[in-house]
Amino acid sequence: MLKWMRLLLMVAVLMLGLGSALAQDSGNTLIMARAADTTGLDPHTQTAFASLRLLELVYEPLVTLDANLNIVPALAESWTFADDAMTLTMNLRQGVKFHDGSDFTAADVVASFNRILNEETGAAARANYLSIASMDTPDDYTVVFNLSVADVPLLAAMASVNASIVPSEVIESGDFAASAIGTGPFILDEWIPEEVTRLSANAEWWGEGPFVDGIEMRVIPDEASILAALRAGEIDFALLNDPLVATLLNGDSSITLNAVPALAYHVFQLNPSRAPMDNLAVRQAMSCAIDRQEVLDTASLGEGTVTGPLTIPAYQVDTSGFFCYQKDLDRARELMAGVEPFTIKAIVANAEPPTALSEAQSIQAQLAEIGITLEIEPLELSVYVDRWLAGDFDSAIALNGGRPDPYTMYARYWTSAGNLQVVTNYIDETLDSLMAAGRAEPSFENRLEIFTQFQQHLTEVSPWIWLYNGFEYTAHQPYVVGFEPNPTDSLYSFAKVTLER
């Protein structure tokens, strides 16, 4: 009996040893982990952040954003906007090849934008490119976009995975689910949903790099486990969402933690189509009663910055100029004079973002001080999205995505033609005209002036109460060199990364 058990033990030890030996073969491959996985491979229709993180390595748009959100060349080498902002001419990079070996030309650009604009495609980003009336291709490497209205933000809107250029042949065959043929620095070899995605370096890439042989993207559904894997040295790089997890790395000198102010913003959305939120004074009172810093401190451990509507660094202004950005209970009570204490509900998505419930609880406690009872209604994410899209809520805790341009970021919400007017239920002349002016204005100084007025007006009429923007977290081993954290959370700079173990 004893002999038999000893033998069994030996076999077990041997197998475990063998397993570990076989596991360590990463070499010059960057191993990263994240909690959520890609939901699909079509760059024009995928909007989930988790999908974009993969697709931006494989597909490339004409222009892209650097770490300071400047628009920089990608597949277009240069571009010119006509003075009236009615035509945009793109000079394409020459000698670029798709992963299937075919040449990248103007025809692919035209085919890609036609696909995005075609309603049959179901591209949610289509709304950003509607000003494109027609496209001309004077030669194989020039595309002229003729616009129906002056549209300065179009350029920034093109700096998106959703405006990626795909081969015209693939568009004809229509098969985006099976393969991913782009021009990007990495080639998709294998995607096993919810397990692992393997990419290899594109040796033909037009830029300098990539310097790693490939990338292995693993899904580790629990962020605490991601952290453990990082600390155990099992992975090189990690995407983190939850500030409560990411901040555990503060002061850990063996791991590099990057925290970049996010474009996405945390907001307490009111529904002005419902009483008593239809009353301006009530909305303003709520804005005055909420200490935004306190929400940030309690829900996110202070990881972030109190913000107005615009989170784009170039357009951010001192928030103290906004309506009631300092908690003012006296003023709130004054505004509530004559209003009976009331109860409203707030919809909150379960763990989306991870801080949502804590934000709601902080607001609940603060609103109680002026006689407003907030009932929190936690919902599963899809149910929440359904209610949110239908505008079916008194109020909502939301983390909304940001865009590099103020117009693209808010046209959906605060223009009378905006697709999401059904969600905001608020529009006025001032917002409409400021947005139209900002769209047509080419000069940055003038746009800053326009959008500052926009922010001031929006915070004063308070259909929503903007709270704060947090950080986009990435963490990696110190030997991962050259990664540039981006406010859009983009991983595009993986092309520049070297592993200096």
Partner 1 sequence: MRRYLIQRVLAFLPILIGVSLLVFMAIRLIPGDVITATLGTEAGMLTDTQRESLRRYYGLDRPVSEQYVNWITRAVVGDLGISTRHGKPVTELIAERFPVTLQLALMAVTLGLLVGVPLGIIAAVRYNSILDLLVRLLALAGLVMPGFLVGTLIIFVLSTVFGFLPNAGNFARFNENPGLNLQQMIFPAITLGFAFSASIMRMTRSSMLEVLGEDYVRTARSKGLRERQVVTRHALRNALIPVVTLVGVEMGYLLGGTFIIETLFSLPGLGRLLINAISQRDYALVQGATLFIAFTFVLINLVIDLLYAAVDPRISYERNRA
Does residue 419 bind partner 1 (CB under 8 A)? yes
Does residue 16 bind partner 1 (CB under 8 A)? yes
| Contact residue for partner 1 among 189, 222, 252, 500 (CB under 8 A) | 222
60-99 mask for partner 1 (x: CB under 8 A)? ----------------------------------------
- CA–CA separation, 43 and 46 (whole Å): 6
In terms of Cα–Cα distance, which of 465, 468, 466 is closest to 300? 468
- CA–CA separation, 360 and 346 (whole Å): 8
Name the amino acid, one letter, at 16.
Answer: L
- From 16-24, 63-71, 260-268, 440-448, span contacting partner 1 (CB under 8 A): 16-24
Q: Are 426 and 461 in contact (CB under 8 A)?
A: yes
Does residue 125 bind partner 1 (CB under 8 A)? yes
Contacts of 386 (CB under 8 A, 6+ apart): none
Nearer to partner 1 (CB atom), residue 37 or residue 441: 37
| Contact residue for partner 1 among 44, 53, 115, 126 (CB under 8 A) | 126
Rounded least distance, CB 468 to partner 1, Å? 19
Q: How many residues does the chain have?
A: 501
| Contact residue for partner 1 among 229, 255, 357, 436 (CB under 8 A) | 229
Rounded least distance, CB 122 to partner 1, Å? 4
- CA–CA separation, 322 and 290 (whole Å): 14
Q: Are 206 and 62 in contact (CB under 8 A)?
A: no
Q: Are 495 and 185 in contact (CB under 8 A)?
A: yes
| Contact residue for partner 1 among 220, 262, 282, 458 (CB under 8 A) | 220
| Contact residue for partner 1 among 420, 480, 495, 497 (CB under 8 A) | 420
Collapsing DSSP to helix, strand or coil, 356 comes out as helix
Whole-Å CA distances, 81 to 84, 108, 312: 8, 21, 22
Instruction: Please list every residue from 341 through 400 that binds partner 1, using CB under 8 A.
Output: 380-383, 385-389, 398, 400
Contacts of 262 (CB under 8 A, 6+ apart): 304, 311, 402, 469, 470, 471, 472, 487, 489
| Contact residue for partner 1 among 1, 2, 23, 203 (CB under 8 A) | 23
Contacts of 379 (CB under 8 A, 6+ apart): 347, 348, 349, 350, 387
Q: Are 199 and 41 in contact (CB under 8 A)?
A: no
Name the amino acid, one letter, at 448.
Answer: L
37-66 mask for partner 1 (x: CB under 8 A)? --xx----xxxx------------------
Instruction: Please list every residue from 463 through 482 that binds partner 1, using CB under 8 A.
Output: none
Segment (H or E) for 108: helix 106-117
Does residue 102 bind partner 1 (CB under 8 A)? no
Rounded least distance, CB 83 to partner 1, Å? 30
Q: With CB under 8 A, what is the number of residues at the site for partner 1?
A: 62
Rounded least distance, CB 196 to partner 1, Å? 7
The two beta strands, 214-219 and 196-201, are antiparallel
Does residue 195 bind partner 1 (CB under 8 A)? yes
- From 20-28, 101-109, 279-287, 320-328, span contacting partner 1 (CB under 8 A): 20-28
Which tokens belong to 140? 């194989």
Name the residues that contact partner 1, by CB under 8 A.
12, 14-20, 22-23, 33, 39-40, 45-48, 119-127, 177-178, 193-196, 216, 218-222, 224-225, 228-229, 231-232, 234-235, 380-383, 385-389, 398, 400, 412, 419-420, 422-423
